[in-house]
């Protein structure tokens, strides 16, 4: 199997081979064959009487020591994964909530509120009165509402309840899956999956859905609060892939997830251009993004994206990355070892996220600018030790048009119809110029040729006039391969889609159509797509599970992806996953996730590893929805 | 003839060999599909817990083979590799081979009432169990080279002890 | 070198193959009085149910040794051990360098009035089975005398054919050589559940006839059983006549030393005709088991061709039989003789029954009903006289017990060196 479709990644893998550097691909090869019990999800380590395994061929153990069946074990493992994903997004969101509270109460001068309009819109949606109040007051109330959303209370999680249709709320109430607290939901999952608590697989899965809805809330909160603190994204031009590294600049990589760190570095970087030049970097400081934090600063500041996910190590292997600063999530521990083979300084910043071998500079809201400067200076120092012999910057980079927040999309549509911006979108869907919408999300996965599933599916769907949205490392895949461009629309879009994107492109003043895929932001920004869907649903007077909208994580990897996929299903979307999740050890769980859940929530999982088949199945799902709407 | 050797101190009891054996003897050759086949594919080696050790019990392809002698239906024969194989269609399910195998590694397939034993994966270069073992507790090789490896290791132990 | 083998059964053929391995150039002749080539005797009951299966006959292996000279339908009239010559019934003389007597045994006929005549059967040869299959097509009621392993197989086959079947056994329970009372009880219930009638503690005293036709079987207690088909499965007698007339040492079977040599030079014996030693008790036995015959044939043939392999003795009891869907295995001492110190470990769960018999440190017998997984481990431990009494609790699961035993024998140094 080829490791990657990305030319820059390929070039760097050759360099890695020459220099005998191990990458995720090498380590994965040593890991195979992986344990079949783990692959099937039928290994349980929840108590000290284990580890228990269920023999899938029925001859050995058919029950765990405590009597848990394969169905129970698989369901427990799956919902714990959802809880872990939820905890990650929850951590991201609460960090922003604390920062907003500090900002509102004058304890974080480095974090002024940038988007008051967004602040008021969010407040209004939460039912907070904004008339006659100072910005700081509104911000405080929003932050306190946010913080309350994490723990024990008797009201639904506000960021979930206020961000979906009424129909969804009623469905969630009907099946008892409304979370009352984000952390409460996570904690409930850990409790019910403990030894000797919930053994009913369907009950467990419903508990997982409740937790996934808490994840949705955490994501939506993350999006809202980041927009409030750092600005709501607007269309922006930039570039992507390793070619964005500059031989004559201090290259600093921003990796991880939170704009609390990355946005500050962006703000400080050019203050230190002079020091960089003094150190010999004629082009000053060059910031590049990786993974979701890269998406955050791309969307807001046009910072170019170096690479994503499975190829994150390759940025260091260019020999031109002087520092990589990270916060939390999706940061491979191998980066530290790899950095030691080069001059690169790996800098961790969060108290809960350290890596042996890295330099730790504790970053807090109170000392943000100071810490950011210190970090950039470490990069400048490192630049002096760069070994020109080891520099191999591949030339590949693609143009990128990103920044499609909900507001930006609605803004573009309003140029076609000022009073009713959703009308042109809905009309084109009804007319069939847009068959439906597909949201691409998720990661790369080392077991899939990098980006292969994303690219194949996108091209198949675009040909069928499906409007494509993307977030996270999925958007990153499209960015690196030039699909976030007008040229890609011209090359791959079906006629109907092309016409719509051309009209929109013209309206916003582009020389060509809008890009083939609309980059909506980081993984928490998947909730932006939900916002658009909710708006359309409300306008049409139907619920989300009737819309011709589907989702796909063709190369999913993380527990966060499992959580997001689950809330997409709960929201009513047919949701494709391109790798096999560890659930096939229980035919009951597999059936519930792919069939039974459809009759409860309208959405369902589709697992298909072949991208062409997957695209066809998504088109069929879209057509089924259209038929249901009578269009 | 290559033999299957077992390094007892390496066996973690993970049973990856058993899964791989069953999958190798399934129609689909894929774990996810194999588990729902009929008849259910059977693994032909067994992991038992001894005293402080995990003990994989595999067919030793004995010569002379008690199972071969005992088969009252002529359903077992020795192939060119020296492996004792079951002849398709001849087994009558009398279980005499199960009764006689001193390692207890002949199994019963209930669906077709036939005996099932290790065939040393004739279609693979290296038997599936050996490939699957994550700690290389199972070794497929010539007796001479395996013996040589043990001698080297033992010599190392002795030499270090002498220092 | 001319090797002559009398008997084309398990022992004869195993010997022929072994001779070929050790002496590829030697001439090998096999004489048999049967009209057809070698077949798997234990499979003949299949004829009653299905008709003649093709693979009942021995298959030729790819790469097997060159043909032996097989003489069908030849009866041996006499043996001259001094002149090293055989005289055939048709007058032909055959000289030998090495001779193997693998003449087997024949079924014992009950010595009761009325036995002679049509309708009574034994079940030993292919011809016997064909005759019984024919009778089963016409008859409605079958009585089988003797509920040993042959009797049980015949009963199940005839019942499968749709006949009303009654088993008459003089002991108190089924297969009294192999099974004990508890196993007999479990299996008896199983047989009754498929409609086979069981009569214990009875003997058949006469076959009542009207002309040639059988009209009933008289039991010792006076009852008369309706029957058109009668099968006697009351044991076999070794064919020792040829050896006895030639002056060889003979008892219930031909007497041999541990290399399977008879009392005459260059004459060996193997299979059901041999009197050998029970490896568990050390007593003399004549074994009627296919497995033993093959092993003896292989060793005798090898020794005839120059090897010096010792035959360790036979299991008197070594039987695997599936009774109406319930597998059973019996080996070694399953019924305890009077006197002697034995420790018995028994467990029963529903229709699963297991009995292990120990004598001091070693395992001497195993009886399994229901779950026979890994049973061969017991055979290996019995044969090897392994001292395993200490771990007898773990022997409930044979492989697990084997793993315990194996691991206890590995020294720490050995482990470290690996």
C313: in domain: no
Q: What is the pLDDT of residues C158-209, one digit of tens each?
A: 999 999 999 999 999 999 999 999 999 999 999 999 999 999 999 999 999 9
| CATH code for the domain of C163 | 3.50.50.60
Give the residue from chain B lying closest to C56, CA to CA. Answer: B73
Residue A317 has pLDDT above 90, yes or no: yes
Mean per-residue pLDDT over chain C, rounded:
91
Judgement on whether residues C48 and C98 belong to the same structural domain of the protein: yes
Give the residue from chain B lying closest to C299, CA to CA. Answer: B64
Spatial separation of the C-alpha atoms in residues A326 and C341, rounded to whole Å: 77
Domain boundary among C232, C253, C268: C232
Contact C373 B108 (CB under 8 A): yes
**How far off is chain A from B163, nearest CA to CA, in Å?**
36
Judgement on whether residues C136 and C228 belong to the same structural domain of the protein: yes
Judgement on whether residues B67 and B144 belong to the same structural domain of the protein: no
Nearest to B31 among A39, A53, A587 (CB): A39
Helices (H), chain B: 16-24, 31-34, 66-70, 96-100, 128-132, 143-162
Q: Taking residues C65-76, report their average pLDDT.
A: 83
**Residue B26 confidence (pLDDT):** 97
C300: in domain: yes
Q: Taking residues C101-114, report their average pLDDT.
A: 94
Spatial separation of the C-alpha atoms in residues A108 and A368, rounded to whole Å: 9
Q: For chain B, list residues with pLDDT below 70.
A: none
Spatial separation of the C-alpha atoms in residues A89 and A79, rounded to whole Å: 15
Judgement on whether residues C32 and C86 belong to the same structural domain of the protein: yes
Judgement on whether residues C228 and C247 belong to the same structural domain of the protein: no
Judgement on whether residues B65 and B47 belong to the same structural domain of the protein: no
Structural domain containing residue C6: 2-105+237-304
Judgement on whether residues B71 and B35 belong to the same structural domain of the protein: no
| CATH code for the domain of C369 | 3.30.390.30
Contact B72 C42 (CB under 8 A): yes
Among residues B57, B74, B67, B68, which one has the least CA distance to residue B15? B57
Judgement on whether residues B1 and B54 belong to the same structural domain of the protein: yes
Contact B74 C404 (CB under 8 A): no
**Residue C51 confidence (pLDDT):** 66
Nearest to C403 among B57, B70, B77 (CB): B57
Domain boundary among C232, C267, C286: C232
Judgement on whether residues B49 and B36 belong to the same structural domain of the protein: yes
Give the residue from chain A lying closest to B16, CA to CA. Answer: A35
Backbone angles phi, psi at A242, to 5 degrees: -65, -20
Contact C377 B92 (CB under 8 A): no
Residue C393: band (very low, low, confident or very high) from pLDDT cuts 50, 70, 90: confident
Judgement on whether residues B3 and B50 belong to the same structural domain of the protein: yes
Judgement on whether residues C33 and C17 belong to the same structural domain of the protein: yes
Which of A101-115, A515-529, C28-42 has the lowest average pLDDT? C28-42
Contact A33 B134 (CB under 8 A): yes
Judgement on whether residues B135 and B161 belong to the same structural domain of the protein: yes
C169: in domain: yes
C322: in domain: no
**Residue A565 confidence (pLDDT):** 98
Contact A36 B19 (CB under 8 A): yes
Indicate the number of domains in chain C: 3
Q: What is the pLDDT of residues C318-360, one digit of tens each?
A: 999 998 889 999 999 998 877 778 999 999 888 899 999 999 8
Residue A478 has pLDDT above 50, yes or no: yes
Q: Show which residues on chain A lie within 8 Å of chain B, measured between beta carbons.
A: 33, 35-37, 39-40, 53, 55-60, 580, 584-585, 587
Q: What is the ipTM of this complex?
A: 0.93
Judgement on whether residues C72 and C16 belong to the same structural domain of the protein: yes
Residues 6+ apart with CB under 8 A from C12: C5, C6, C30, C32, C38, C100, C102, C270, C271, C297
Mean per-residue pLDDT over chain A, rounded:
97
Residue A350 has pLDDT above 70, yes or no: yes
Give the residue from chain A lying closest to B134, CA to CA. Answer: A33
Question: Which pTM does this prediction carry?
Answer: 0.84
Taking CB atoms and an 8 Å cut-off, how many pairs form between chains A and B?
45
**Residue A482 confidence (pLDDT):** 98
Which of A68-77, A444-453, A619-628, C209-218 has the lowest average pLDDT? C209-218
**Residue C413 confidence (pLDDT):** 47
| CATH code for the domain of B108 | 3.30.70.20
Indicate the number of domains in chain B: 2
Judgement on whether residues C131 and C70 belong to the same structural domain of the protein: no
Q: Taking residues A330-334, report their average pLDDT.
A: 98
Residue C126 has pLDDT above 50, yes or no: yes
DSSP string, A111-152: -----HHHHHHHHHHHT---TT--HHHHHHHHHHHHHHTTS-
**Residue C336 confidence (pLDDT):** 87
3-state secondary structure of B145: helix
Q: Taking residues C15-42, report their average pLDDT.
A: 91
Backbone angles phi, psi at A545, to 5 degrees: -75, 5
Judgement on whether residues B81 and B43 belong to the same structural domain of the protein: no
Q: What is the pLDDT of residues A569-626, one digit of tens each?
A: 999 999 999 999 999 999 999 999 999 999 999 999 999 999 999 999 999 999 999 9
Q: Taking residues A1-13, report their average pLDDT.
A: 95
Contact B42 A35 (CB under 8 A): no
Judgement on whether residues B52 and B131 belong to the same structural domain of the protein: yes
Judgement on whether residues B78 and B92 belong to the same structural domain of the protein: yes
Judgement on whether residues C144 and C167 belong to the same structural domain of the protein: yes
Q: Taking residues A153-162, report their average pLDDT.
A: 96
Q: What is the pLDDT of residues A412-457, one digit of tens each?
A: 999 999 999 999 999 999 999 999 999 999 999 999 999 999 999 9
> In chain A, which residues have their Cβ closer than 8 Å to the Cβ of B29?
none
**Residue B53 confidence (pLDDT):** 85
> In chain A, which residues have their Cβ closer than 8 Å to the Cβ of B32?
39-40, 580, 584
**Residue C54 confidence (pLDDT):** 65
Domain boundary among C185, C210, C232: C232
Judgement on whether residues C291 and C189 belong to the same structural domain of the protein: no
**How far off is chain A from B41, nearest CA to CA, in Å?**
7
Residue A390 has pLDDT above 60, yes or no: yes
C318: in domain: no
Q: What is the pLDDT of residues A391-418, one digit of tens each?
A: 999 999 999 999 999 999 999 999 999 9
Among residues A168, A36, A90, A522, which one has the least CA distance to residue B18? A36
Judgement on whether residues C86 and C29 belong to the same structural domain of the protein: yes
Q: Is B31 on the interface with A (CB under 8 A)?
A: yes
> In chain B, which residues have their Cβ closer than 8 Å to the Cβ of A27?
none
Judgement on whether residues C97 and C243 belong to the same structural domain of the protein: yes
**Residue C407 confidence (pLDDT):** 84
C153: in domain: yes
3-state secondary structure of C349: strand
Spatial separation of the C-alpha atoms in residues C324 and C212, rounded to whole Å: 34
Judgement on whether residues B1 and B35 belong to the same structural domain of the protein: yes
Spatial separation of the C-alpha atoms in residues A577 and A81, rounded to whole Å: 15
Among C43, C153, C320, C376, the strongest candidate for a mutation testing the B interface, having the largest count of B CBs within 10 A, is C376
Distance between alpha carbon A245 and the CA centroid of its chain, in Å? 23
C164: in domain: yes
Contact C329 B154 (CB under 8 A): no
Structural domain containing residue B102: 60-117
> In chain B, which residues have their Cβ closer than 8 Å to the Cβ of A58?
40
Residue C415 has pLDDT above 70, yes or no: no
C52: in domain: yes
Judgement on whether residues B77 and B24 belong to the same structural domain of the protein: no
Judgement on whether residues C390 and C351 belong to the same structural domain of the protein: yes
Residue A518 has pLDDT above 50, yes or no: yes
**Residue C60 confidence (pLDDT):** 66
């Amino acid at each position: 199997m080829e490791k990657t479709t990305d030319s820059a990644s390929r070039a760097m893998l050759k360099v890695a081979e020459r220099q005998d550097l191990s990458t995720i691909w090498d380590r994965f090869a040593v890991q195979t064959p992986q344990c079949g019990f783990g692959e099937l999800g039928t290994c349980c380590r929840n108590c000290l009487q284990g580890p228990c395994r269920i023999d899938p061929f029925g001859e050995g153990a058919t029950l765990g020591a405590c009597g848990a069946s394969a169905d129970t074990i698989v369901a427990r493992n799956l919902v714990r994964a959802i809880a872990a994903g939820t905890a990650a997004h929850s951590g991201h969101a609460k960090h922003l909530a604390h920062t907003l509270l500090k900002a509102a109460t004058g304890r974080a001068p480095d974090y002024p509120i940038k988007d008051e309009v967004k602040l008021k819109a969010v407040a209004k949606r939460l039912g907070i009165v904004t008339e006659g109040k100072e910005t700081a007051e509104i911000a405080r109330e929003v932050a306190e509402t946010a913080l309350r959303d994490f723990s024990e209370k008797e009201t639904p999680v506000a960021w979930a309840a206020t961000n979906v249709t009424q129909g969804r709320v009623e469905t969630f109430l009907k099946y008892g899956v409304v979370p009352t607290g984000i952390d409460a939901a996570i904690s409930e999952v850990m409790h019910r999956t403990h030894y000797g608590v919930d053994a009913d697989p369907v009950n467990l899965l419903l508990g997982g859905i409740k937790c996934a809805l808490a994840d949705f809330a955490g994501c939506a909160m993350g999006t809202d609060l980041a927009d409030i603190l750092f600005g709501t994204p607007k269309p922006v031009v930039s570039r992507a892939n390793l070619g964005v590294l500059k031989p004559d600049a201090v290259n600093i990589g921003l990796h991880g997830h939170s704009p609390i760190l990355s946005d500050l570095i962006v703000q400080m970087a050019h203050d230190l251009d002079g020091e960089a030049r003094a150190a010999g970097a004629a082009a000053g400081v060059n910031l590049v993004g990786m993974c979701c934090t890269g998406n955050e600063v791309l969307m807001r500041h046009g910072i170019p994206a170096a690479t994503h996910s499975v190829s994150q190590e390759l940025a260091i292997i260019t020999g031109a990355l002087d520092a990589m600063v990270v916060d939390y999530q999706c940061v491979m521990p191998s980066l530290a070892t790899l950095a030691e083979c080069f001059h690169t300084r790996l800098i961790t910043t969060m108290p809960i996220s350290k890596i042996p071998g890295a330099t730790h500079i504790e970053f807090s809201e109170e000392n943000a600018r100071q810490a950011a400067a210190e970090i950039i200076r470490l990069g400048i120092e490192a630049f002096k030790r760069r070994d020109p012999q080891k520099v191999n910057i591949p030339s590949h980079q693609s143009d990128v048009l990103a920044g499609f927040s909900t507001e930006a999309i609605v803004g573009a549509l309003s140029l076609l119809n000022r009073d009713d911006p959703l009308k042109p979108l809905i009309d084109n869907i009804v007319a069939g110029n847009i068959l439906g919408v597909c949201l691409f999300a998720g990661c790369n996965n080392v077991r899939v040729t990098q980006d292969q599933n994303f690219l194949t599916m996108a091209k198949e769907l675009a040909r069928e006039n499906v409007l494509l949205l993307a977030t996270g490392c999925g958007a990153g895949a499209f960015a690196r391969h030039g699909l976030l461009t007008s040229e890609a629309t011209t090359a791959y879009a079906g006629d109907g889609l092309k016409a719509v994107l051309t009209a929109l492109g013209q309206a916003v003043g582009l020389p060509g159509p809008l890009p083939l895929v609309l980059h909506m932001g980081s993984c928490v920004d998947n909730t932006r797509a939900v916002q658009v869907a909710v708006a359309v649903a409300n306008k049409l007077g139907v619920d989300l599970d009737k819309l011709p909208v589907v989702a796909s994580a063709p190369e999913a990897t993380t527990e966060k992806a499992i959580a997001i996929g689950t809330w997409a299903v709960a929201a009513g979307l047919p949701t494709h996953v391109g790798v096999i999740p560890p659930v096939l050890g229980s035919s009951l769980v597999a059936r519930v996730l792919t069939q039974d859940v459809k009759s409860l929530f309208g959405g369902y999982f589709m697992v298909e590893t072949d991208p062409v088949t997957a695209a066809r199945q998504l088109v069929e799902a879209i057509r089924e929805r259209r038929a249901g709407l009578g269009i | 003839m290559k033999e299957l050797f077992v390094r007892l101190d390496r066996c973690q009891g993970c049973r990856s060999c058993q899964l791989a054996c069953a999958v190798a003897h399934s129609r689909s050759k894929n774990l996810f599909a194999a588990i729902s086949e009929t008849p259910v594919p059977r693994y032909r080696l067994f992991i038992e817990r001894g005293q402080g050790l995990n003990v994989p019990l595999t067919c030793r392809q004995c010569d002379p083979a008690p199972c071969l002698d005992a088969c009252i239906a002529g359903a077992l024969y020795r192939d060119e590799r020296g492996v004792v194989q079951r002849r398709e269609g001849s087994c009558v399910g009398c279980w005499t081979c199960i009764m006689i195998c001193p390692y207890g590694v002949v199994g019963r397939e209930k669906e077709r009432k036939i005996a099932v034993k290790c065939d040393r994966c004739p279609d693979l270069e290296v038997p599936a169990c050996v490939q699957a073992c994550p700690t290389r507790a199972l070794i497929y090789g010539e007796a001479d080279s395996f013996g040589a490896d043990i001698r080297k290791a033992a010599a190392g132990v002795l030499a270090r002890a002498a220092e | 070198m001319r090797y002559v083998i009398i008997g084309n059964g398990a022992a004869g053929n195993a010997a022929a193959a072994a001779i070929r391995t050790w002496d590829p150039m030697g001439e090998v002749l096999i004489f048999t009085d049967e009209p057809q080539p070698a077949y798997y005797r234990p499979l003949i009951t299949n004829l009653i149910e299905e008709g003649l299966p093709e693979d009942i006959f021995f298959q030729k292996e790819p790469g097997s040794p060159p043909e032996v000279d097989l003489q069908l339908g030849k009866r041996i009239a006499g043996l001259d051990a001094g002149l090293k010559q055989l005289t055939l019934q048709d007058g032909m003389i055959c000289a030998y360098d090495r001779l193997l007597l693998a003449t087997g045994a024949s079924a014992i006929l009950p010595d009761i009035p009325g036995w002679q005549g049509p309708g009574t059967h034994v079940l030993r040869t292919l011809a016997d089975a064909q005759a019984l299959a024919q009778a089963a097509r016409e008859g409605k009621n079958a009585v089988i005398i003797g509920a040993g392993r042959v009797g049980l197989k015949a009963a199940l086959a005839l019942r499968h054919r749709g006949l009303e079947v009654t088993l008459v056994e003089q002991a108190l329970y089924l297969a009294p050589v192999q099974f004990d009372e508890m196993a007999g009880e479990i299996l008896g219930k199983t047989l009754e559940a498929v409609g086979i009638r069981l009569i214990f503690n009875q003997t058949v005293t006469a076959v009542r006839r009207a002309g040639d036709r059988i009209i009933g079987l008289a039991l010792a207690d006076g009852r008369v059983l309706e029957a058109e088909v009668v099968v006697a499965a009351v044991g076999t007698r070794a064919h020792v006549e040829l050896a006895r007339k030639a002056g060889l040492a003979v008892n219930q079977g031909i007497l041999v030393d541990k290399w399977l040599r008879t009392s005459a030079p260059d004459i060996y014996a193997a299979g059901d005709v041999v009197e050998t030693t029970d490896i568990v008790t050390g007593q003399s036995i004549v074994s009627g088991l296919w497995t033993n015959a093959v092993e003896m044939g292989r060793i005798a043939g090898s020794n005839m061709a120059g090897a010096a392999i010792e035959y360790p003795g036979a299991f008197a009891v070594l039987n695997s039989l599936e009774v109406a869907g319930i597998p059973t295995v019996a080996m070694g001492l399953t019924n305890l003789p009077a006197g002697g110190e034995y420790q018995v470990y028994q467990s029963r769960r529903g229709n699963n029954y297991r009995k292990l018999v120990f004598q001091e440190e070693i395992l001497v017998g195993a009886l399994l009903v229901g779950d026979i997984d890994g049973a061969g481990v017991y055979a290996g431990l019995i044969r090897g006289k392994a001292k395993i009494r200490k771990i007898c609790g773990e022997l409930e699961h044979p492989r697990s017990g084997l793993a315990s035993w194996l691991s206890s024998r590995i020294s720490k140094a050995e482990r470290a060196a690996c």
